[in-house]
Each structure stands twice: as C-alpha cells, then as structure tokens.
Amino acid sequence: MALSALRKLLIMALAALSFCAAVGAQQAPALSSAAASLVEGQKAHLFGGQFDPNHPAAVPAEVKPEWAALIGEYGPDLARFYVLEDDGELRILAGWFDLETLRPVSPDVFELPSSGLHGAQTVTFLRDAARAVTGVRVGNLVYGRRPFDGPGQVFQITPLKPVAELRQEALAATPPVEEGAFRKPDLVQLNQIDPSIKLDIRYATNRNFLGAPLYLEARAYMQRPAAEAVMRASQRLHALGYGLLIHDSYRPWYVTKMFWEGTPPEKRIFVADPEQGSRHNRGCAVDLTLYDLKTGEPVRMTGGYDEMSERSYPFYPGGTARERWRRDLLRWAMEAEGFTVYEEEWWHFDYKDWKQYPIMNLTFEQLENSRP
C-alpha cells in the first residue's frame, strides 16, 4: 500500500522542474543523497526543526505570529511549493530540494535573494476581504493557496457509499483466513494502565474522515506488551512536558473493511487492505499525538489526523520548526519502545511483535462481555 520512494522522488522532481521553469530559474537542482535519505524516512534532513535526543531541551521557538498565516502550500500539483518556517526564518521550498530564504520587506511582501537559483524576485502574499491568505505572487505569476489543515479542522471525504451501507456490508463479510500459530490475544485499555494517557477516539464521533461514528464507545485497547510499551513512551515524554493522546488503537476488522470500501482508490494508500488485514486489527497499532501536560491541550503538528495528503508523511518538510520538532519527538519516544512509524502517517505506529497476533473482529462491547 505504501508509495514507493522512487515515485515520491519523481513527483518532487517534477514539482521542482515546473516551479523553476515558471519563475525563470536557470536549471532545476539535482536530486541529492540527503533528499533520498529524507524520502526513505531516515535521520538525514534538509532543514532544521527535528528533535535531537542528545539535546532534548533545545525546543525551536514559536513562529512569529505575523508569519503563521502565510505558512502553507501554493500552486497546482506539478508546480507546488511550500512556504515554511525554519530556524526563525520564512522560506520557500520547491520540490523539496530548492530552499530559499524570504527577506521581509513589509508584512505581506518579501524578496528572494539575488544570489539564489531564481534570482531576485518579489514575493507578495495575497488576501481576501476577510484578510485570509488566498495565494502568492512570485514575480509576475500568481499561485493559489492549496487547501490546508487549520487548527480545529477535520479532514473528511465523501464516502463511495453511505456509511450505514458500508457498515451493513462489512459486518456481513468474513475476515481473511490466516495460517500459523499466534499468541493468545490479551487486550487491555491504554488509559487504565496509564491514567495520564488521554483519549480522543475519533471513530466514536463524526470527527473523522468518513464523517460518522463507527464505534459505539470511545475505548483504546492494545495487546498487553504493546500497551506497556506505549505506557513507557508516555512516561518518557512526561520529562519533556508532554503526554499522549490516543485517536485509535485496536480496530475490529469490519471497520477496516468499511474504510477500504468507502475510500476512493487514489486515496487508499492511507487505509489498509482488508484482504491483508490491518495491524490495528491485531491490537498492535496505535494512532496518537502529543498533548501539553501544563494546559492539557493537543499540540499543533505539521498536518491533521487522518488527513489524506503529503502533510501526513512523517518526513513532510512543511509547517514550522516547532511542529516538525514535536512530530519527531513523538517518533523518537515511540521508536525507543519498539514501534515503527508508518511511512504515510506521522501518527500511526506499529508494534514490533504485530505478526505474532491474529486478525480480530470483536467489537468493543463483545470484548467487555467476554471478560471473566
């Protein structure tokens, strides 16, 4: 289901070529080994903002308030570029390889350096009557602002079928038959083994990508060894002022079936194939984010939960340095306890022993009724 690294490189290279041609560049930058490492999700990065476990207290400063509204994606698919904040500066990134600093002239007007790849260019951010940023003018060309994830927004699609119909069909379907010996499931609730772990189970509400409740109750189960590893990650994060907020964990197979059948084919890289089952179905995957221990509020990341876009990639370069730092802090804490991040979703982590557990299809209610 994952996009290949080669496909990602081609997409980004096309974006770089298109943008460079549009603004009059001499030539597009070559693909670098650092960029390839970033695409593979390794530790090499093109810019700052990432968590450094050797200096955990080195938190990037918050973005300047007047710049916050300018940060985002601009232009069409094949000429997309990013306005991001890095190391206290506002920058333009084209194709993930061509990074240039914007020099402020006035609140909405900046200049590209004459020494840069594109030469001196005036960059003007455009606003509507309500002062919302609608696009940007680079030289004589105007690029519209692409849809973005703002605070409080919830990404949603129009399901291919009504949710009630998806549920009826999924409940009537049968999970794939598996061969082999598996561990006996032992699902426990995350917030019961660690009360500091908070729940925001989106699939028990309409605040999810299908726009309708899929669970009757807001619960978060995992296999005991995986749950204890999450607890240790939670304790590790407390020392840095953060707690864990769970969006989903164990997921009955029929819900995975609903996701697949309701999602357009071009977006299915973000959902599991029910014929293979999901690691969520085995009780060994968790969707989570950070919350601030002082305020109790979720922190802002580079993209929203369940958003089906590049902003969900754990190596997405946009946003602010602090958002990228928090995203990588979460990854560091989870990887230290035996989890692996899913390459299309910064919030999704798989426990190392997931292959040792079977696909399950019990609802939360059935799980509770089956306990002695």
The amino acid present at 79, given as its one-letter code, is A
Q: Are 269 and 3 in contact (CB under 8 A)?
A: yes
Tokens of residue 26, six digits: 């001499």
Q: How far is CA 224 from the centre of its chain?
A: 26
Q: Which of 111, 179, 345, 368 is catalytic?
A: 345
CB neighbours of residue 248 within 10 Å: 25
As a whole number of Å, the CA-based R_g of the chain is: 22
- What are residue 91's phi and psi, to 5 degrees? -135, 155
360, β-bridge pairs: none
- For 47, 49, 91, 300, 325, the CA distances from 87, given in Å and listed in that order, are 9, 7, 10, 18, 11
Q: HSE, CB side, 13 Å, CA atoms: give it for residue 21.
A: 9
Q: Are 92 and 100 in contact (CB under 8 A)?
A: yes
Burial-class residue 249 by CB neighbours within 10 Å (0-12, 13-18, 19+).
Answer: buried
Burial-class residue 366 by CB neighbours within 10 Å (0-12, 13-18, 19+).
Answer: exposed
Q: What gap in Å lies between CA 158 and CA 108, rounded to an integer? A: 35
Q: What gap in Å lies between CA 246 and CA 289, rounded to an integer? A: 7
Catalytic site residue 345? Answer: yes
Q: Which residue has the tokens 């690691």?
A: 279
Question: Catalytic site residues?
Answer: 345
